[in-house]
Amino acid sequence: MKILFINPPYAAIEGLKESGGHMFPLSFAYLASYAERKISGLEFKVLDCEVEGLNYPQIEKRIQEIKPDLVGITCPTPAMKHVYKISQIAKEINPDVQVVAGGIHPTVLPKKTLEEGKTIDFVVIGEGEATFAELLQSLKSGEKNFSEISGLCWRKGEKIILNSRRRLIKNLDEIPFPARNIFNLKLYYSAPTKKVSEESATPIVTSRGCPFDCAHCPSKIIWEGFIRYRSPDNVVAEIEDCVNRYNLREFNFYDDTFTINKNRVMEICQKIIEKKLQIYWICLARVNTIDQNLVKMMKEAGCRKISFGLESGNQKILDLMGKKATVEQGKKAVETVKKQGLAVHASFMLGN
Protein backbone atom coordinates (compact mmCIF):
# COMPACT_ATOMS: atom_id res chain seq x y z
CA MET A 1 0.00 0.00 0.00
CA LYS A 2 1.50 3.30 -1.11
CA ILE A 3 0.82 6.36 1.05
CA LEU A 4 1.64 9.86 -0.17
CA PHE A 5 1.91 12.58 2.45
CA ILE A 6 1.39 16.09 1.07
CA ASN A 7 2.41 19.33 2.73
CA PRO A 8 0.36 22.00 0.88
CA PRO A 9 1.61 25.43 -0.22
CA TYR A 10 1.23 28.06 2.50
CA ALA A 11 1.41 31.19 0.31
CA ALA A 12 -1.80 32.68 -1.07
CA ILE A 13 -0.63 31.77 -4.58
CA GLU A 14 0.62 28.21 -5.01
CA GLY A 15 4.17 27.92 -6.36
CA LEU A 16 5.50 30.75 -4.16
CA LYS A 17 7.45 29.98 -1.02
CA GLU A 18 6.23 31.74 2.11
CA SER A 19 9.52 32.11 3.97
CA GLY A 20 13.25 31.53 3.85
CA GLY A 21 13.41 28.36 5.93
CA HIS A 22 11.37 25.24 6.57
CA MET A 23 11.14 22.28 8.92
CA PHE A 24 9.67 19.04 7.65
CA PRO A 25 6.18 18.13 8.96
CA LEU A 26 7.08 16.05 12.00
CA SER A 27 3.55 14.66 12.13
CA PHE A 28 4.14 12.75 8.87
CA ALA A 29 7.27 11.16 10.31
CA TYR A 30 5.41 10.05 13.44
CA LEU A 31 2.46 8.68 11.47
CA ALA A 32 4.81 6.66 9.25
CA SER A 33 6.94 5.18 12.03
CA TYR A 34 3.91 4.24 14.14
CA ALA A 35 2.06 2.66 11.21
CA GLU A 36 5.13 0.73 10.04
CA ARG A 37 5.44 -0.84 13.48
CA LYS A 38 1.83 -2.04 13.31
CA ILE A 39 1.35 -2.92 9.63
CA SER A 40 3.54 -4.60 7.01
CA GLY A 41 3.65 -3.77 3.33
CA LEU A 42 3.46 0.03 3.59
CA GLU A 43 5.42 2.44 1.40
CA PHE A 44 5.59 6.13 2.26
CA LYS A 45 6.33 9.05 -0.04
CA VAL A 46 6.33 12.79 0.71
CA LEU A 47 5.40 15.68 -1.55
CA ASP A 48 6.32 18.96 0.13
CA CYS A 49 4.68 21.55 -2.09
CA GLU A 50 5.74 24.45 0.14
CA VAL A 51 9.44 23.60 0.27
CA GLU A 52 9.64 22.71 -3.43
CA GLY A 53 7.53 25.70 -4.48
CA LEU A 54 5.15 23.58 -6.57
CA ASN A 55 2.15 24.93 -8.44
CA TYR A 56 -1.00 22.92 -9.21
CA PRO A 57 0.14 21.46 -12.59
CA GLN A 58 3.41 20.35 -10.98
CA ILE A 59 1.54 18.82 -8.05
CA GLU A 60 -0.74 16.98 -10.46
CA LYS A 61 2.23 15.60 -12.38
CA ARG A 62 3.93 14.35 -9.22
CA ILE A 63 0.78 12.60 -7.97
CA GLN A 64 0.41 10.94 -11.38
CA GLU A 65 4.01 9.71 -11.18
CA ILE A 66 3.74 8.38 -7.62
CA LYS A 67 0.34 6.69 -8.07
CA PRO A 68 -0.62 6.56 -4.37
CA ASP A 69 -3.36 4.40 -2.89
CA LEU A 70 -3.91 6.97 -0.15
CA VAL A 71 -3.11 10.67 0.15
CA GLY A 72 -2.66 12.26 3.55
CA ILE A 73 -2.67 16.07 3.71
CA THR A 74 -1.71 18.24 6.67
CA CYS A 75 -4.08 21.16 7.08
CA PRO A 76 -3.01 24.53 8.53
CA THR A 77 -5.94 26.94 8.35
CA PRO A 78 -4.30 29.46 5.95
CA ALA A 79 -3.65 26.64 3.46
CA MET A 80 -7.14 25.13 3.33
CA LYS A 81 -7.83 26.55 -0.13
CA HIS A 82 -4.86 24.55 -1.38
CA VAL A 83 -5.85 21.47 0.61
CA TYR A 84 -9.25 21.34 -1.07
CA LYS A 85 -7.73 21.87 -4.52
CA ILE A 86 -5.06 19.19 -4.03
CA SER A 87 -7.62 16.65 -2.80
CA GLN A 88 -9.67 17.42 -5.92
CA ILE A 89 -6.62 16.91 -8.14
CA ALA A 90 -5.88 13.56 -6.46
CA LYS A 91 -9.45 12.35 -7.02
CA GLU A 92 -9.45 13.47 -10.66
CA ILE A 93 -6.31 11.43 -11.26
CA ASN A 94 -7.71 8.38 -9.46
CA PRO A 95 -11.32 8.41 -8.16
CA ASP A 96 -10.50 5.40 -5.97
CA VAL A 97 -7.66 7.07 -4.06
CA GLN A 98 -8.46 7.66 -0.39
CA VAL A 99 -7.85 11.22 0.83
CA VAL A 100 -7.20 11.82 4.54
CA ALA A 101 -6.92 15.25 6.19
CA GLY A 102 -5.29 15.91 9.55
CA GLY A 103 -3.86 18.74 11.60
CA ILE A 104 -5.15 21.66 13.62
CA HIS A 105 -7.87 22.92 11.25
CA PRO A 106 -9.71 19.61 10.74
CA THR A 107 -9.29 18.75 14.43
CA VAL A 108 -11.13 21.93 15.39
CA LEU A 109 -13.61 21.73 12.49
CA PRO A 110 -13.84 18.08 11.37
CA LYS A 111 -17.34 18.13 9.90
CA LYS A 112 -16.84 21.49 8.22
CA THR A 113 -13.63 20.21 6.64
CA LEU A 114 -15.57 17.35 5.01
CA GLU A 115 -18.47 19.62 4.09
CA GLU A 116 -16.19 22.08 2.31
CA GLY A 117 -13.73 19.48 1.02
CA LYS A 118 -16.05 17.31 -1.03
CA THR A 119 -13.15 15.13 -2.22
CA ILE A 120 -11.76 14.43 1.26
CA ASP A 121 -12.82 11.02 2.58
CA PHE A 122 -11.57 11.05 6.17
CA VAL A 123 -10.46 13.45 8.89
CA VAL A 124 -8.08 12.27 11.61
CA ILE A 125 -8.78 14.26 14.78
CA GLY A 126 -6.14 15.27 17.31
CA GLU A 127 -3.28 12.90 18.12
CA GLY A 128 -3.18 10.90 14.94
CA GLU A 129 -0.80 7.94 15.21
CA ALA A 130 -3.18 5.24 16.44
CA THR A 131 -6.19 6.51 14.47
CA PHE A 132 -4.24 6.70 11.22
CA ALA A 133 -2.72 3.24 11.71
CA GLU A 134 -6.16 1.71 12.37
CA LEU A 135 -7.57 3.45 9.30
CA LEU A 136 -4.74 2.08 7.12
CA GLN A 137 -5.30 -1.41 8.52
CA SER A 138 -9.03 -1.17 7.86
CA LEU A 139 -8.51 -0.04 4.27
CA LYS A 140 -5.70 -2.49 3.57
CA SER A 141 -7.63 -5.48 4.90
CA GLY A 142 -10.85 -4.45 3.17
CA GLU A 143 -12.79 -4.57 6.44
CA LYS A 144 -13.71 -0.88 6.27
CA ASN A 145 -14.93 -0.87 9.87
CA PHE A 146 -14.68 2.91 10.07
CA SER A 147 -17.36 3.27 12.76
CA GLU A 148 -15.10 1.40 15.20
CA ILE A 149 -12.13 3.76 14.79
CA SER A 150 -12.11 6.46 17.46
CA GLY A 151 -10.72 9.85 16.48
CA LEU A 152 -12.13 9.60 12.96
CA CYS A 153 -14.63 11.72 11.00
CA TRP A 154 -15.77 10.10 7.76
CA ARG A 155 -18.39 9.88 5.05
CA LYS A 156 -21.15 7.30 5.00
CA GLY A 157 -23.00 7.95 1.78
CA GLU A 158 -24.27 11.50 2.03
CA LYS A 159 -23.85 11.59 5.80
CA ILE A 160 -20.81 12.79 7.75
CA ILE A 161 -20.10 10.64 10.78
CA LEU A 162 -18.10 11.94 13.75
CA ASN A 163 -16.77 9.11 15.89
CA SER A 164 -15.86 9.45 19.56
CA ARG A 165 -12.62 11.23 20.46
CA ARG A 166 -9.60 8.97 20.91
CA ARG A 167 -7.85 8.89 24.25
CA LEU A 168 -4.36 10.31 24.22
CA ILE A 169 -1.39 7.95 24.31
CA LYS A 170 -0.30 7.77 27.96
CA ASN A 171 3.34 6.74 27.52
CA LEU A 172 5.02 8.79 24.79
CA ASP A 173 8.14 6.61 25.05
CA GLU A 174 6.13 3.83 23.41
CA ILE A 175 5.89 5.83 20.16
CA PRO A 176 8.77 4.98 17.81
CA PHE A 177 11.14 7.74 16.76
CA PRO A 178 9.88 9.75 13.77
CA ALA A 179 10.67 8.23 10.36
CA ARG A 180 12.94 11.00 9.12
CA ASN A 181 14.10 8.68 6.33
CA ILE A 182 10.91 9.41 4.34
CA PHE A 183 12.13 12.99 3.74
CA ASN A 184 14.85 14.49 1.62
CA LEU A 185 16.48 16.14 4.62
CA LYS A 186 18.70 18.34 2.46
CA LEU A 187 15.63 20.44 1.65
CA TYR A 188 15.09 21.53 5.25
CA TYR A 189 16.83 24.22 7.23
CA SER A 190 15.89 26.76 9.87
CA ALA A 191 14.34 30.10 9.03
CA PRO A 192 16.72 33.05 9.61
CA THR A 193 14.95 33.95 12.86
CA LYS A 194 15.58 30.46 14.26
CA LYS A 195 18.84 29.48 12.61
CA VAL A 196 21.62 28.67 15.10
CA SER A 197 24.22 26.97 12.86
CA GLU A 198 25.12 26.28 9.24
CA GLU A 199 23.91 22.68 9.57
CA SER A 200 20.75 21.04 8.25
CA ALA A 201 18.10 21.16 10.95
CA THR A 202 15.40 18.91 12.33
CA PRO A 203 12.39 19.43 14.59
CA ILE A 204 12.11 17.37 17.75
CA VAL A 205 9.32 17.15 20.32
CA THR A 206 9.98 15.98 23.89
CA SER A 207 6.50 16.58 25.29
CA ARG A 208 2.96 17.07 24.09
CA GLY A 209 0.55 19.63 25.46
CA CYS A 210 0.56 22.69 27.66
CA PRO A 211 -1.25 23.40 30.95
CA PHE A 212 -1.89 27.04 30.03
CA ASP A 213 -4.86 28.35 28.08
CA CYS A 214 -3.78 31.38 26.05
CA ALA A 215 -6.69 32.73 24.01
CA HIS A 216 -4.87 32.56 20.68
CA CYS A 217 -3.40 29.05 21.01
CA PRO A 218 -5.07 25.78 19.86
CA SER A 219 -2.90 23.57 22.10
CA LYS A 220 -5.70 22.94 24.60
CA ILE A 221 -7.98 21.71 21.81
CA ILE A 222 -5.35 19.37 20.38
CA TRP A 223 -3.82 18.08 23.61
CA GLU A 224 -6.81 18.51 25.95
CA GLY A 225 -5.20 20.95 28.36
CA PHE A 226 -2.48 18.91 30.02
CA ILE A 227 1.09 17.93 29.29
CA ARG A 228 2.75 14.53 28.78
CA TYR A 229 6.50 14.05 28.83
CA ARG A 230 8.92 11.71 27.14
CA SER A 231 11.64 10.45 29.46
CA PRO A 232 15.04 12.20 29.26
CA ASP A 233 16.66 8.90 28.21
CA ASN A 234 14.21 8.53 25.33
CA VAL A 235 14.75 12.14 24.20
CA VAL A 236 18.54 11.87 24.22
CA ALA A 237 18.38 8.51 22.42
CA GLU A 238 16.50 10.22 19.59
CA ILE A 239 19.07 13.01 19.47
CA GLU A 240 21.83 10.39 19.21
CA ASP A 241 19.91 8.64 16.43
CA CYS A 242 19.67 11.92 14.50
CA VAL A 243 23.39 12.58 14.89
CA ASN A 244 24.56 9.06 14.07
CA ARG A 245 22.03 8.04 11.44
CA TYR A 246 21.27 11.29 9.67
CA ASN A 247 24.24 13.51 10.57
CA LEU A 248 21.84 16.13 11.94
CA ARG A 249 23.22 18.51 14.55
CA GLU A 250 20.82 21.46 14.62
CA PHE A 251 17.59 20.86 16.53
CA ASN A 252 14.42 22.92 16.88
CA PHE A 253 12.61 21.81 20.04
CA TYR A 254 8.95 22.18 19.13
CA ASP A 255 7.47 21.59 22.59
CA ASP A 256 4.80 24.16 23.42
CA THR A 257 6.85 25.07 26.50
CA PHE A 258 10.13 23.16 26.66
CA THR A 259 11.25 24.68 29.98
CA ILE A 260 8.06 24.16 31.97
CA ASN A 261 9.62 21.30 33.98
CA LYS A 262 12.99 22.65 35.07
CA ASN A 263 14.33 19.43 36.63
CA ARG A 264 13.51 17.44 33.51
CA VAL A 265 15.23 19.97 31.23
CA MET A 266 18.27 19.92 33.49
CA GLU A 267 18.38 16.12 33.25
CA ILE A 268 18.12 16.19 29.46
CA CYS A 269 20.91 18.76 29.27
CA GLN A 270 23.10 16.78 31.67
CA LYS A 271 22.78 13.66 29.53
CA ILE A 272 23.63 15.62 26.37
CA ILE A 273 26.73 16.98 28.12
CA GLU A 274 27.78 13.57 29.46
CA LYS A 275 27.47 11.99 26.01
CA LYS A 276 29.47 14.87 24.51
CA LEU A 277 26.91 15.40 21.76
CA GLN A 278 28.04 18.33 19.64
CA ILE A 279 24.63 19.76 18.81
CA TYR A 280 23.04 23.22 18.51
CA TRP A 281 19.48 24.01 19.35
CA ILE A 282 16.65 26.47 19.92
CA CYS A 283 13.56 25.97 22.06
CA LEU A 284 10.30 27.64 22.99
CA ALA A 285 9.97 28.85 26.59
CA ARG A 286 7.61 30.83 28.78
CA VAL A 287 9.11 33.93 30.37
CA ASN A 288 8.29 32.73 33.88
CA THR A 289 9.93 29.29 33.58
CA ILE A 290 13.66 30.08 33.35
CA ASP A 291 16.46 31.21 35.62
CA GLN A 292 20.23 31.74 35.38
CA ASN A 293 21.17 28.20 36.44
CA LEU A 294 18.84 26.61 33.92
CA VAL A 295 19.94 28.82 31.03
CA LYS A 296 23.60 28.24 31.91
CA MET A 297 23.19 24.47 31.70
CA MET A 298 21.10 24.75 28.50
CA LYS A 299 23.94 26.72 26.94
CA GLU A 300 26.47 24.08 27.98
CA ALA A 301 24.26 21.44 26.33
CA GLY A 302 24.22 23.29 23.01
CA CYS A 303 21.34 25.77 23.28
CA ARG A 304 22.05 28.83 21.19
CA LYS A 305 18.73 30.66 21.16
CA ILE A 306 15.54 30.76 23.23
CA SER A 307 12.21 31.83 21.74
CA PHE A 308 9.63 33.58 23.90
CA GLY A 309 6.02 34.36 23.08
CA LEU A 310 6.14 37.88 24.50
CA GLU A 311 3.05 38.77 22.41
CA SER A 312 2.69 42.34 23.70
CA GLY A 313 4.33 45.07 25.77
CA ASN A 314 0.96 46.02 27.23
CA GLN A 315 -0.13 44.25 30.40
CA LYS A 316 -3.84 44.72 29.70
CA ILE A 317 -3.49 42.92 26.38
CA LEU A 318 -1.49 40.12 27.98
CA ASP A 319 -4.24 39.69 30.55
CA LEU A 320 -6.94 39.64 27.88
CA MET A 321 -4.96 36.93 26.07
CA GLY A 322 -4.79 34.84 29.23
CA LYS A 323 -0.99 34.72 29.14
CA LYS A 324 -0.62 34.56 32.94
CA ALA A 325 2.69 36.40 32.60
CA THR A 326 3.76 40.00 33.06
CA VAL A 327 5.66 42.51 30.99
CA GLU A 328 8.29 42.65 33.73
CA GLN A 329 8.74 38.88 33.63
CA GLY A 330 9.32 39.19 29.90
CA LYS A 331 11.99 41.83 30.38
CA LYS A 332 13.70 39.77 33.07
CA ALA A 333 13.64 36.62 30.95
CA VAL A 334 15.29 38.39 28.01
CA GLU A 335 17.95 39.84 30.31
CA THR A 336 18.59 36.40 31.83
CA VAL A 337 19.14 34.79 28.43
CA LYS A 338 21.30 37.63 27.10
CA LYS A 339 23.44 37.56 30.23
CA GLN A 340 24.43 33.98 29.35
CA GLY A 341 25.37 35.03 25.84
CA LEU A 342 22.45 33.36 24.08
CA ALA A 343 20.30 34.89 21.36
CA VAL A 344 16.65 35.72 21.96
CA HIS A 345 13.79 35.27 19.52
CA ALA A 346 10.44 36.80 20.43
CA SER A 347 6.97 36.61 18.93
CA PHE A 348 4.50 39.48 19.04
CA MET A 349 0.84 39.74 18.08
CA LEU A 350 -0.45 42.88 16.39
CA GLY A 351 -4.01 44.12 16.05
CA ASN A 352 -5.38 43.20 19.48
pLDDT one-digit tens code per residue, 102-130: 999 999 999 999 999 999 999 999 999 99
**CB within 8 A of 111, min separation 6: which ones?**
153, 160, 162
Three-state secondary structure call for residue 341:
coil
Nearest one of 175, 138, 183 to 44, comparing CA atoms: 183
Could you give the residue range(s) of every CATH 3.20.20.70 domain in the chain?
189-348
What value, to the nearest 5°, has the Cα angle with vertex 242 and ends 107 and 44?
50
Inter-helix orientation angle 262-274/232-246, to 10°: 40
> How long a stretch of residues is the chain?
352
The confidence score (pLDDT) of residue 198 equals 74
**CB within 8 A of 199, min separation 6: which ones?**
248, 249, 250, 280
The confidence score (pLDDT) of residue 131 equals 98
What architecture is the 189-348 domain classified under in CATH? Answer: Alpha-Beta Barrel (3.20)
The confidence score (pLDDT) of residue 29 equals 98
Nearest one of 102, 99, 2, 6 to 48, comparing CA atoms: 6
> In whole angstroms, what is the distance from residue 233 CA to residue 133 CA?
26
Could you give the residue range(s) of every CATH 3.40.50.280 domain in the chain?
2-162
CB 299 within 8 A of CB 263: no
Three-state secondary structure call for residue 52:
helix
Bridge partner residues of 204 (DSSP): 253
Q: Does domain 2-162 have CATH number 3.40.50.2300?
A: no
CB 325 within 8 A of CB 310: no
User: Dmax over Cα atoms in the chain, in whole Å?
Assistant: 62
The confidence score (pLDDT) of residue 17 equals 57
The confidence score (pLDDT) of residue 351 equals 78
The confidence score (pLDDT) of residue 163 equals 98
Segments of the chain scoring below 70 in pLDDT: 12-20, 192-193, 352
> In whole angstroms, what is the distance from residue 60 CA to residue 2 CA?
17
Q: Looking at this protein, which amino acid is placed at residue 61? A: K
> In whole angstroms, what is the distance from residue 47 CA to residue 54 CA?
9
Bridge partner residues of 101 (DSSP): 73, 123
The confidence score (pLDDT) of residue 45 equals 98
Q: How far from 86 is each of 1, 57, 79, 256, CA to CA, in Å?
A: 20, 10, 11, 30
Nearest one of 116, 117, 112 to 100, comparing CA atoms: 117
- Exposed / middle / buried, residue 4 (Cβ in 10 Å: 0-12, 13-18, 19+): buried
